[in-house]
Amino acid sequence: MSKTVAILLPIPTERPYTYGVPEGMVLAPGDHVQVPLGPRKVAAVVWDGKVDEVNPKKLKAVEQKFDCPPLSKELMQFVEWIAAYTLSPPGMVLRMILRSPAALEPLPNTIAYKFAGKEPEKLTEARKRILTLARDGMAWSKSGLAHAAGTSASVVNGLITQGVLEEVEIPAGPLVPLPDNSYHQPELLEEQIDSAKALVETTEANKFSVSLLDGVTGSGKTEVYFEAVAKVLELGKQALILLPEIALTANFLERFQDRFGVKPGEWHSDIAPKKREQLWRQVATGEVRVVAGARSALFLPFHDLGLIVVDEEHDAAYKQEDRVFYNARDMAVVRGRLADAPVILSSATPSLESRVNADRGRYHYLRMEARYGEAVLPDLATIDMRKNPPPRGGFISPILRQAIGEAVERGEQALLFLNRRGYAPLTLCRVCGHRFQCPNCTTWLVEHRFRKQLQCHHCGHNDKVPEVCPSCGTFDHLVACGPGVERLAEEVVDIFPDARTLILSSDLMGGVKRLRLELDAIAKGECDIVIGTQLVAKGHNFPLMSCVGVIDADLGLSNGDPRAAERTFQLLSQVTGRAGRAGGKSFGFLQTYQPEHPVIQAIAAGDREAFYEREILGRQSSGLPPFGRLASIIVSASTRNEAEGQAKAMRRLAPKEAGISILGPAEAPIAILRERHRFRLLVHGDLGVNLQAWLRKWLAASPKEKGSIRVQIDVDPQSFL
């Protein structure tokens, strides 16, 4: 063993490790290998670059090279780029690529059966049917044959035992068949044709570019970017479509199938591991041509990536806030650049970052202002809750109540939107004022009445709802404060006892399967009033929905988050955009205590340009993203003292540099999370400064993380809790 090689392991290391290369093994950068790590064997990747000297006695050897296409140079660069940008160890970024180690081995052959040429001892009717099918020499799966012949598997088994059918091994076929780019071409409208043409052109150019497809809800953005996907298929390349909430996007898969004849490869946490492994492997070999997936799909080892689409690009779900903190929208643009492939960002309410990039001409800007077909945007109005208060104990104002009633009367649907899961966000004792707080976090416990639980939405802690106040011992005097969707549903059922009411919330029993069924049921008109959290805001098509009521439009406007206005604007525009998709008149109502607030006014007036203009000016004057850069540092520890001490020491030791300022440390809004005390520092950098380089210098100068202390860095933070 004379040669050594650099290997990057999927563990939190800054640098590749050195391993020996056994005689006869030829390794090149990107190759997948198995190496020993302590007592374990891990899948890792041969890396480029310098290796540390290792004492030859301690040098361990690569054990195996997998029979799998190597990581592309592009993907290796992507790992290093993200690591440098997010200040994460490259090994942790690599780990996001190597999520399916079993996929590194070729797929096992599948077992099938075919006619062996020998007649059975006794020819029953069932056996006859099987043989009629099998005689043509084709191989069948056991269940497939039984099913096609209308017999049970035991009849097939009988024939196998007799040697009438023989076992054959065939290579596993592709997981998903090849999409057909001309399966069903829609007739596009003028505005759609222009946008589609532009996207097809950038796709055909076959080099990096970014297009922002900005079209109102229902303008047909999906149909339009499908044309670019069709072009990629024609070019023989692969496409990745990122969706913020794929588990709920059954509808999307169906639309893809309507257009291309088959479903795309699907990638998200709800897919069975085996399927995921197959998909990973077939993406690497290039057999799977189109993948629709959640943000983690961005780390799939595409063989020849020709297009990335980020649907609902503004969505906060693209931000991962765990280990490697990254925004999949931004990283999609990076991957597009490294792979020299075009990127399409699509949204009805683009993020300010993307809008500004488009305004500056960095992105192609494609705008679609008309809804497809009969669909017209709803008439929007604010309801001033100070003047039109709901009845005592209720949350629905008389105006909204009447509008819901009228919609249901007409045989149409109403949607009530409230971004609060559970029954009530706070429970207290009427006698002593005791408030139920999470034992692990500084948060209120949320009552979930269906499950009879008090639950922390941050750490998952839950208690049974007690009958007695734990503080004063009074029996049966707990009151629910404020609304959650469950409580709202109670009110709706009270007011409209004959209407079919449905709650849509991510935490209800039955998980994703049930949600998909429910979304389907709504689309088919099988319910009258839907009460939903932000789940309903995401891209669904409800043709019969003609009345949307936002219960608390102010929620989210005033929480110290620089993006609060933008988020509220996006969410409310998306929610009200659910109405009026199938023509006819439709209405959207915003219940608010501050109808004069510019965001509420802009939404109600349907004046998005006013909103963007104002918000862009505001960000510009305060140097907030995209006119300045932010990084948030969370220092946490098991005691308040340790966390505060570390945060203060870091503040003191921060290098001075022009264009960089630090806010804090301050106790985080969620001061304790999962039993850890948290302090925040917020770094602001002017556009010209190299924020990462400065952060690295700072971390190097800071005291080491001792004991329970952890320092977490979030570049381009989305959350300020």
Give per-residue burial for 663-683: e unless 16+ CB within 10 Å, then b. ebbebbebbbbeebbbbbbbb
Indicate the residue among 80 and 507 with the shorter CB distance to Zn ion.
Answer: 507
Dihedral sign, CA of 470, 474, 476, 477? negative
- Rounded CA separation 231/620 (Å): 38
Q: Which does 372 bind (CB under 5 to 8 A by kind): ligand ADP, Zn ion, none?
A: ligand ADP
| H/E segment holding residue 530 | strand 529-532
Residue with Cβ nearer Zn ion (461 or 567): 461
Distance CA 248, CA 242 (A): 13
Q: Least distance (Å) from ligand ADP to the CB of residue 225? A: 9
Work out what residue 64 binds among ligand ADP, Zn ion, none; the CB cut-off runs from 5 to 8 Å by kind.
none
Instruction: Look up residue 565 and give its two tokens.
Output: 């206005």
Strand-pair category, 165-170 with 545-550 = unpaired
**Where in 607-636 is the site for ligand ADP (CB under 6 A)?**
none
What gap in Å lies between CA 513 and CA 506, rounded to an integer?
11
Of 116 and 188, which has the nearer Cβ to ligand ADP? Answer: 188
Provide the β-strand partners of residue 292.
241, 266
Looking at the Cβ atoms of 222 and 249, the one nearer to ligand ADP is 222
Q: Which does 462 bind (CB under 5 to 8 A by kind): ligand ADP, Zn ion, none?
A: none
Q: Amino acid letter at 354?
A: S
Binding mask 369-398 for ligand ADP (x = CB under 6 A): ---x--------------------------
Give the CA distances from residue 232 to residues 180, 337, 428, 571, in Å, rounded to whole numbers and listed in that order: 11, 17, 58, 32
CB of 617 to ligand ADP, least distance (A): 28
Indicate the residue among 453 and 690 with the shorter CB distance to Zn ion: 453
CB of 259 to ligand ADP, least distance (A): 9
Nearer to ligand ADP, 237 or 581 (CB): 581
Name which of Zn ion, ligand ADP, none residue 441 binds, using a CB cut-off of 5 to 8 Å depending on partner kind. Answer: Zn ion
Distance of closest approach, residue 410 Cβ to ligand ADP, in angstroms = 21
Does residue 141 touch Zn ion according to CB under 5 A?
A: no
At 329, phi and psi to the nearest 5?
Answer: -65, -50
Report the residue number, 309 or 650, with the smaller CB distance to ligand ADP. 309
CB of 441 to Zn ion, least distance (A): 3
Query: Which lies closer to Zn ion via its Cβ, residue 437 or residue 541?
Result: 437
Residue nearest to ligand ADP as judged by C-beta position: 220
CB of 209 to ligand ADP, least distance (A): 21
Interaction residues for ligand ADP, span 210-249 (CB under 6 A): 215, 217-223
Q: Please, what is the minimum distance in Å from the beta carbon of residue 91 to ligand ADP?
A: 38
Could you tell me the smallest distance in angstroms from the CB atom of residue 293 to ligand ADP? Answer: 18
Pick the closer one to ligand ADP by CB: 221 or 608.
Answer: 221
* Cα dihedral 689, 695, 698, 699 in deg (nearest 10): -170
Q: How far is the CB of 359 from ligand ADP (least distance, A)?
A: 21
Pick the piece of the chain touching Zn ion (CB under 5 A) from 134-142, 264-272, 454-462, 622-630: 454-462
668 lies in the site for Zn ion, by CB under 5 A: no
In the block, tokens 């809800």 appear at 217
d(CA 645, CA 114): 73
The stretch among 65-73, 229-237, 457-465, 638-646 that binds Zn ion (CB under 5 A) is: 457-465
Q: Which residues partner with 637 through β-bridges?
A: 677
Q: Cα angle at 521 between 551 and 256, to 5 degrees?
A: 105
Handedness of CA 353, 357, 358, 363 (dihedral sign): negative
CA pair distance 497, 300, nearest whole angstrom:
49
Pure H helices in 167-272: 190-205, 221-235, 250-260
For ligand ADP, the binding residue among 437, 541, 594, 690 (CB under 6 A) is 541
Structural tokens at position 493? 């059922």
Peptide bond between residue 669 and the one before it cis (omega within 30 degrees of 0): no
If the CB atoms of residues 37 and 317 are measured against ligand ADP, the closer one turns out to be 317
How many chain residues bind Zn ion (CB under 5 A)?
7
- Binding Zn ion (rule: CB under 5 A), the pick from 459, 530, 575, 668 is 459
Q: Which two tokens stand for residue 450?
A: 């269906």
Does 456 sit near Zn ion (CB under 5 A)? yes
Select from 441, 446, 537, 555 the one that contacts Zn ion (CB under 5 A). Answer: 441
440 binds, among Zn ion, ligand ADP, none (CB under 5 to 8 A by kind): Zn ion
**Residue 217 contact, options ligand ADP, Zn ion, none, Cβ 5-8 Å cut-off depending on partner type:** ligand ADP
DSSP letter string, 59-71:
PPBP-EE-SSPPP
The smaller minimum CB distance to Zn ion, of residues 77 and 440, is found at: 440
CA-CA distance, 384 to 381, in Å (whole number)? Answer: 10
* Part of the chain binding ligand ADP (CB under 6 A), chosen from 183-191, 204-212, 565-573, 698-706: 183-191
User: What is the separation of C-alpha 325 from the centre of its chain, rounded to a whole number of angstroms?
Assistant: 14
Determine the 3-state secondary structure of 46 from DSSP.
strand
Q: Which residues contact 201 (CB under 8 A, 6 or more apart)?
A: none
In the complex with Zn ion, which residue's Cβ is closer, 348 or 459?
459
Pick 484 or 580: Cβ nearer ligand ADP: 580
With CB cut-offs between 5 and 8 Å by kind, which of ligand ADP, Zn ion, none does residue 192 bind?
A: ligand ADP
Structure tokens at 322: 């765990």
How many CA atoms within 13 Å lie on the side-chain side of 386? Answer: 5
CA distance 242 to 346: 10
Tokens of 1: 């063993």
Near Zn ion by CB under 5 A: residue from 440, 462, 474, 692: 440
Nearest approach, Cβ of 294 to ligand ADP (angstroms)?
A: 18
Binding range to Zn ion, per CB under 5 A, among 249-257, 453-461, 503-511, 608-616: 453-461
Tokens 């929620």: give the residue: 555
As a whole number of angstroms, the distance between CA 119 and CA 594 comes to 83
Shortest distance, CB of residue 213 to ligand ADP, whole angstroms?
Answer: 8
State the binding partner of 456 from Zn ion, ligand ADP, none, CB within 5 to 8 A by kind. Answer: Zn ion
Nearer to Zn ion by Cβ, of 440 and 692: the residue is 440
By CB under 5 A, residue 34 contacts Zn ion: no
- Per DSSP bridges, beta strands 342-347 and 209-215 are parallel
What is the rounded CA–CA span in Å between residue 115 and residue 167? 9
Q: Minimum CB separation from Zn ion for residue 463, in Å?
A: 11
Q: Nearest distance from residue 492's CB to ligand ADP, in Å?
A: 27
Q: Cβ closer to Zn ion: 106 or 460?
A: 460
Taking residue 136's Cβ as centre, other Cβ atoms within 10 Å add up to 8
495 binds, among Zn ion, ligand ADP, none (CB under 5 to 8 A by kind): none
Query: Which pairing describes strands 290-293 and 305-311: parallel, antiparallel, or unpaired?
Result: unpaired
The amino acid at 374: E
Least CB distance to ligand ADP at residue 220 (A)? 3
How far apart CA 399 and CA 397 sit, in angstroms, is 5
Which burial class, exposed, middle or buried, applies to 239 when counting CB atoms under 10 A from its CB (0-12, 13-18, 19+)?
buried
- Strands 32-37 and 64-65, by their bridges, are antiparallel
Minimum CB distance to Zn ion smaller for 142 or for 458: 458
From candidates 86, 151, 181, 192, binder to ligand ADP by CB under 6 A = 192
Residues in touch with ligand ADP (CB under 6 A): 186-189, 192, 215, 217-223, 372, 541
Residues in touch with Zn ion (CB under 5 A): 438, 440-441, 456, 458-459, 461
